[in-house]
Amino acid sequence: MTRKLEIVATPTPLVKAERLSSELGIGLYIKRDDLAGPTFGGNKSRQLEYYFGAALAEGADTILITGAVQSNFVRLAAAVARSQGMQAIVQLEDRVPGKSTAYRSSGNVLLARLIGAEIITYAHGEDEEGADAALHAKADELRARGRTPYVIHLSEGHPPLGALGYVDAATEILGQSDDFDFYVVASGSGSTHAGLLAGLRGAGSKAKVLGSCVRRDAKAQAPRIRRVTDRLVQLFPKAEAVTDDDIVVWDGALAPGYGRLGPAGRAAMGRMAAAEGLHLDPVYTAKSFAAVLAHVDSGDIPKGSRVCFVHTGGLAALFAYHEDLTV
Ligand SMILES: *Cc1c(COP(=O)(O)O)cnc(C)c1O
Task: Catalogue all structural domains in the chain, each as residue range(s) with its CATH number.
Answer: 14-43+160-325 (3.40.50.1100), 44-152 (3.40.50.1100)
SS3 content of the chain, % helix, strand, coil (to 5): 50, 15, 35
Closest listed residue to residue 259, CA positions, set 94, 66, 75:
94
Instruction: Specify the amino acid at residue 315.
Output: L
Among protein residues, the one whose CA lies closest to atom 4 of ligand 1: 188
Rounded distance from Cα 161 to ligand 1 centre (Å): 14
Q: Is 55 a residue whose pLDDT tops 90?
A: yes
- Which range among 94-108, 233-247, 261-275 shows the weakest confidence by mean pLDDT? 94-108
| Arithmetic mean of pLDDT, 268-280 | 98
pLDDT attached to residue 61: 98
| Arithmetic mean of pLDDT, 221-226 | 98
Look over the chain and give the mean of its residue pLDDT values, rounded to a whole number. Answer: 96
Q: Is 22 a residue whose pLDDT tops 80?
A: yes
Choose the residue to mutate in 43, 70, 74, 258 for probing ligand 1, maximizing ligand atoms within 8 Å of C-beta.
43
Choose the residue to mutate in 39, 44, 215 for probing ligand 1, maximizing ligand atoms within 8 Å of C-beta.
44
Among protein residues, the one whose CA lies closest to atom 15 of ligand 1: 72
The bridge status of strand 62-68 relative to strand 87-93 is parallel
Among protein residues, the one whose CA lies closest to atom 8 of ligand 1: 189
63-100 residue pLDDT tens: 999 999 999 999 999 999 999 999 999 999 988 877 88
d(CA 63, CA 151): 6
Q: Report the atom number in ligand 1 closest to the C-alpha of 71.
A: 15
Choose the residue to mutate in 30, 108, 284 for probing ligand 1, maximizing ligand atoms within 8 Å of C-beta.
284
pLDDT tier, 270 (very low <50, low <70, confident <90, very high otherwise)? very high
pLDDT attached to residue 96: 84
d(CA 20, CA 29): 9
Q: Give catalytic status of residue 298 as yes or no.
A: no
pLDDT attached to residue 125: 78
Q: Report the atom number in ligand 1 closest to the C-alpha of 190.
A: 9
pLDDT attached to residue 324: 87
pLDDT attached to residue 189: 96
In the chain, what percentage of residues exceed pLDDT 90?
A: 94
pLDDT attached to residue 100: 87
Helices and strands (DSSP H and E) totals, the chain: 12, 10
Choose the residue to mutate in 189, 216, 287 for probing ligand 1, maximizing ligand atoms within 8 Å of C-beta.
189
Rounded distance from Cα 114 to ligand 1 centre (Å): 22
Q: Is 181 a residue whose pLDDT tops 70?
A: yes
pLDDT attached to residue 50: 98
In this structure, how many other beta carbons lie within 10 angstroms of the beta carbon of residue 136?
A: 13
pLDDT tier, 220 (very low <50, low <70, confident <90, very high otherwise)? very high
Q: Residue 43 has what DSSP assignment?
A: T
Q: Is 179 a residue whose pLDDT tops 90?
A: yes
pLDDT attached to residue 117: 97
- Active-site choice (21, 45, 71, 191): 71
| Arithmetic mean of pLDDT, 293-302 | 98
pLDDT attached to residue 95: 84
Q: How far is CA 123 from the centre of its chain?
A: 23
| Arithmetic mean of pLDDT, 4-21 | 98
Region label for 228, one of left (φ > 0), alpha (ψ between -120 and 50) or beta (otherwise): alpha
Residues of 254-267 as b/e, b for ≥16 C-beta within 10 angstroms? beeebbbbbebbbe
pLDDT tier, 199 (very low <50, low <70, confident <90, very high otherwise)? very high
Q: Report the atom number in ligand 1 closest to the C-alpha of 186.
A: 10
Ligand 1 site residues, Cβ closer than 6 angstroms: 42-44, 72-73, 186-193, 281, 284-285, 312-314
pLDDT attached to residue 1: 64
| Arithmetic mean of pLDDT, 155-183 | 97
Rounded distance from Cα 64 to ligand 1 centre (Å): 18
| Arithmetic mean of pLDDT, 102-116 | 96
Rounded distance from Cα 313 to ligand 1 centre (Å): 8
pLDDT tier, 215 (very low <50, low <70, confident <90, very high otherwise)? very high
pLDDT tier, 197 (very low <50, low <70, confident <90, very high otherwise)? very high
Q: Report the atom number in ligand 1 closest to the C-alpha of 281.
A: 13
Q: Is 135 a residue whose pLDDT tops 80?
A: yes
Q: Report the atom number in ligand 1 closest to the C-alpha of 192.
A: 7
pLDDT attached to residue 12: 98
pLDDT tier, 275 (very low <50, low <70, confident <90, very high otherwise)? very high
Rounded distance from Cα 323 to ligand 1 centre (Å): 22
